[in-house]
Structure 1
Amino acid sequence: MTEQKKHEPLGVIWGVAAIAQVIGRTPRQTYHALEKGALPAQKVAGRWCASRKKLEQLFEGEDAA
């Protein structure tokens, strides 16, 4: 079982590549947004993690605008 699959029931996405896939951006674009604080995520033990629900809420808001 992959690390991402283990945490999926919690709604936690681990790693830049996985977050990028969820939001439809490249890993490089995603890393830049994470470092700028433009995405609701945090570093845990040196790895980026994000709540799937918070990311969906952020991008649903952009679609409505």
Structure 2
Amino acid sequence: MNDNNPDLLMGADAIARFLGITRRQTYRLVYDGLLPSFKLGGTVAARRSSLTAWLAEAETAAA
């Protein structure tokens, strides 16, 4: 975890741990454009707040 910005998740492993999915599933969601993420250099990154909102939106849509 990045102590300077606790909202920022750097790398597919960190995102996967946060979402409770595998690294491979994370990359699939990123490259399919389904996961709110961005690149910092060559590293995939996401904000916890964006992922939380994305999950809540997906949950609402499924209901």
TM over 0.5, shorter chain: yes
Following TM superposition, the consecutive aligned residue runs of length 4 or more in structure 1 with deviations greater than 4 angstroms are none
CA contact (8 A) 1:7 1:13 kept: no
Aligned length in residues: 61
User: Comparing both structures, which one devotes a greater share of its residues to helix?
Assistant: 1
Q: Using structure 1 for the length normalisation, give the TM-score.
A: 0.82
What RMSD in Å do the two structures reach over aligned CA positions? 1.3
Identity of aligned residues (%): 33
In the alignment, structure 2 segments of 5+ residues that lack a partner are none
Partner of 1:18: 14
Q: Using structure 2 for the length normalisation, give the TM-score.
A: 0.84
In the alignment, structure 1 segments of 5+ residues that lack a partner are none
